[in-house]
Homo-oligomer: A and B are copies of this chain.
């Protein structure tokens, strides 16, 4: 059987193959799942409630995505894990034949703040939909993820708030570690339900405290989980701190495991973190922003709903993009649809944004393999650091 994760040889300055581009910590790899191989670095579109918002599975696939994310918290509440189990898992329920990852719901219930109580057992919370009471434990969310049946499932963790004291971070981390141990124990006793492998990722917490992060990595590395995630990033800290923490962590992480930064981010975040050795990402940003009137392009963010695009009949959202939206429609048309409240605006903008994120990761990988990732990404980061490039 293939290993779950393999690093891909890249061209180094010396001419000999290595897994990193020269002068860079960026890595290219492949995740092998029962629902297909996934080249890394990879961005996973978020399909919160069993659907990537505003696009169909064939649209997601057309954008180039080979893996999407589902939220255990949302799916548990609606339509319920038992129904998904009965359907044969979320792949079949949602007609998605690519790979899938589910989070554990840890972040969502933690975000409920006034609606939840955290104890050693787990998190008791009230549904944001109807106020009903529920309990998530380290074990119950594993069972939920077994039923949902994603190819990659995540530990139940407590997110460390930002800012946090070293004491808070230590306490929160210890809880996450105990929950992770309980999760692994439960998983060891309860096999997969849908006839294919589910790969478990531990989650590194520890706030912005580098020593706590280091201890967390040591703990998870010792457990030898198939992959390791960095949680508790992009929770309000400046980007520079996120990069510092992530870079510190990836230097300590075992090179043979995929590294997943959860809930991040902008195209610039992705390129910077890829340069620090991160392999996997997910974020609602491209899809949510698209529905709110902004898409990312190779020239930077574009507020396509803005009045200044009303007359741009000859320009697509992104001249470099080959997606259905860019090949067929002008900014003027997209802007018109958005202003007129047409759902099609949201679909087309989402299609483009997904396509762009997939292209970005595909090109990033090609440059890592070619050995010029840092030069390539530095140019883009500089371009995107300036305000929106208008028209032209």
* A interface list, Cβ under 8 A from B: 49-51, 53-58, 74, 78-79, 83, 86-87, 93-95, 310-311, 313, 324, 328-330, 332-333, 336-337, 339-340, 342-344, 346-348
Besides A53-B342, A56-B344, 12 other CB < 8 A contacts? A55-B344, A58-B324, A83-B310, A83-B311, A83-B313, A83-B332, A83-B336, A87-B313, A87-B330, A93-B332, A94-B333, A95-B333
Determine if A78 and B336 form an interchain contact, defined as CB atoms under 8 angstroms apart: yes
Residues of chain B contacted by A333 (CB below 8 angstroms): 50, 87, 93-95
Residues of chain B contacted by A51 (CB below 8 angstroms): 337, 340, 342, 344
Determine if B336 and A79 form an interchain contact, defined as CB atoms under 8 angstroms apart: yes
Residues of chain B contacted by A347 (CB below 8 angstroms): 54, 56, 343, 347
- Whether A339 touches B78, Cβ cut-off 8 Å, given contacts A83-B332, A333-B93, A347-B347, is yes
Q: How far is the CA of A49 from the CA of B332 in the complex (A)?
A: 13
Which interface residue of A55, A74, A93, A344 has the most chain B CB atoms within 10 A?
A344
Determine if B324 and A56 form an interchain contact, defined as CB atoms under 8 angstroms apart: yes
Determine if B79 and A310 form an interchain contact, defined as CB atoms under 8 angstroms apart: yes
From B53, B86, B313, B342, contact of A49 by CB (8 A): B342
Determine if B79 and A332 form an interchain contact, defined as CB atoms under 8 angstroms apart: yes
Copies of this protein chain in the complex: 2
Q: How far is the CA of A58 from the CA of B58 in the complex (A)?
A: 13
Q: How far is the CA of A78 from the CA of B329 in the complex (A)?
A: 17
- Whether A313 touches B86, Cβ cut-off 8 Å, given contacts A78-B336, A333-B93, A337-B50, is yes
From B328, B330, B332, contact of A57 by CB (8 A): B328
Determine if B343 and A54 form an interchain contact, defined as CB atoms under 8 angstroms apart: yes
Minimal Cβ-Cβ distance residue in B for A348? B56
Min distance, Cβ A82 to any Cβ of chain B, angstroms: 10
Min distance, Cβ A71 to any Cβ of chain B, angstroms: 11
Q: How far is the CA of A79 from the CA of B345 in the complex (A)?
A: 14
Residues of chain B contacted by A94 (CB below 8 angstroms): 333
Min distance, Cβ A65 to any Cβ of chain B, angstroms: 15
Residues of chain B contacted by A55 (CB below 8 angstroms): 344
A-B contact pairs, 19 of them (CB 8 A): A49-B336, A49-B337, A49-B342, A50-B333, A51-B340, A54-B347, A57-B328, A78-B336, A79-B332, A79-B339, A83-B311, A83-B332, A87-B313, A87-B330, A93-B313, A93-B330, A93-B332, A94-B333, A95-B333
Min distance, Cβ A10 to any Cβ of chain B, angstroms: 38
Which interface residue of A50, A330, A333 has the most chain B CB atoms within 10 A?
A333
Q: How far is the CA of A95 from the CA of B1 in the complex (A)?
A: 48
Residues of chain B contacted by A86 (CB below 8 angstroms): 311, 313
Q: How far is the CA of A343 from the CA of B342 in the complex (A)?
A: 11
Determine if A340 and B54 form an interchain contact, defined as CB atoms under 8 angstroms apart: no
Q: How far is the CA of A370 from the CA of B322 in the complex (A)?
A: 45
From B49, B56, B95, B344, contact of A340 by CB (8 A): B49
Determine if B344 and A54 form an interchain contact, defined as CB atoms under 8 angstroms apart: yes
Q: How far is the CA of A142 from the CA of B377 in the complex (A)?
A: 54
Which interface residue of A51, A95, A342 has the most chain B CB atoms within 10 A?
A51
Min distance, Cβ A193 to any Cβ of chain B, angstroms: 15
Q: How far is the CA of A110 from the CA of B53 in the complex (A)?
A: 38
Q: How far is the CA of A310 from the CA of B333 in the complex (A)?
A: 37
Minimal Cβ-Cβ distance residue in B for A94? B333
CB-CB nearest 3 A-B residue pairs: A79-B336, A95-B328, A54-B343
Min distance, Cβ A101 to any Cβ of chain B, angstroms: 19
Determine if B344 and A343 form an interchain contact, defined as CB atoms under 8 angstroms apart: no
